Amino acid sequence: MDSPNLIHIASGVMIPSLGFGTYKVNGKTTVLEAVRAAYEAGYRFIDTASFYQNEKELGAAIATLSIPREELFISSKVWLDSDGYDKTLESFEKSCKDMGTDYLDLFLIHWPTERTMSTWMALERLYAEGKVRSIGVSNFEIEHLKEIVESNHIKPMINQIEVHPGFPQTELRNYCDRHGIHVCSSAPLGRGAIFSHPDIQEIADLNGVSPSQAVLRWHYQLGIIPIPKSQHREHIDENIDIFDFTLSIDDMQKLSSLEGERLFKTPEGALDCNSGEFDEA
């Protein structure tokens, strides 16, 4: 099994080409087992958020690995209730304290709000001070990105969005490409919808891999960094084992042209929702 290679992003930082998602990975024992399994499988990019409510457990789990901090790429996000300049700085400090680190490799705005620019200015300050190595956004569509891109501020280095076969986000990805914004996929397996699609199963069978491996390889060949999540060792191992085969041009085109739809909330839906009932990629 080959490990994820590293990708240059606009900050000059190298980011692994596949990450380990931790949304709904909760509980001290569960987080510990998942982090250990992910590390042993070869993951070095761990993605979390203050909203996930697992940063303390992640920090404790990472500490048990007894490895240099620089061996890991850790990403977190500032939540809706902590947007704005001052609250964003406070959210960053809390995330670092909870995870037992004095810096983050990547810090994202979780969703766009009416205070996006003041939140972004806080991220720029953290970046200038060397407290974060890269800054970016999550769930931003073109109109939200334009607010930053056209303002003469630092451009986001990452946009973490919902992408999967059936919802390839081609126009948004093309916009990001034109502006040097690398795309991460927070929902690469489409909430499991891919497993029942006959075309995906056929492509997986032709390549001697599982449907999830075929779809994650599709992301990789498109230049998207997928961040699959799992609490189960067999799935953790399977999801990273995508670097010793290549999908054909025909396979790629078929996966890119599948019909489907968005499965998670829009930015507007996120702002309207009750956080206690919130579900995301």
DSSP 173-208: HHHHHHTTPEEEES-TTGGGGGGG-HHHHHHHHHHT
pLDDT band at residue 59 under the 50/70/90 scheme: very high
Residue whose structure tokens are 């190298």:
14
Residue 215 backbone dihedrals phi, psi, to 5 degrees: -70, -40
Specify the length of the chain in residues: 281
What rounded mean pLDDT belongs to the chain? 94
CA atoms within 13 A on the CB side of 161: 27
CA torsion sign for 45, 88, 128, 130 is: negative
Q: What are the residue boundaries of the structural domains of the chain, listed by start?
A: 6-272
pLDDT band at 266 (very low <50, low <70, confident <90, very high): confident
Based on the residue annotation, tell me whether 52 is a catalytic residue of this protein. yes
Question: Per-residue confidence at 21, pLDDT binned at 50, 70, 90?
Answer: very high
The two tokens of residue 153 are 């501020």
Q: Is 109 in contact with 116 (CB distance < 8 Å)?
A: yes
Catalytic residue among 52, 85, 127, 220: 52
Nearest partner of 15 among 216, 207, 223, judged by Cα: 223
Pairing of strands 14-16, 6-8: antiparallel
Q: CATH: 3.20.20.100, 3.90.1150.10, 1.10.600.10, 1.10.3210.10. Which one for 6-272?
A: 3.20.20.100
> Full-prediction pTM beyond 0.75?
yes
pLDDT in tens, 195-227: 888 999 999 999 999 999 999 999 999 999 999
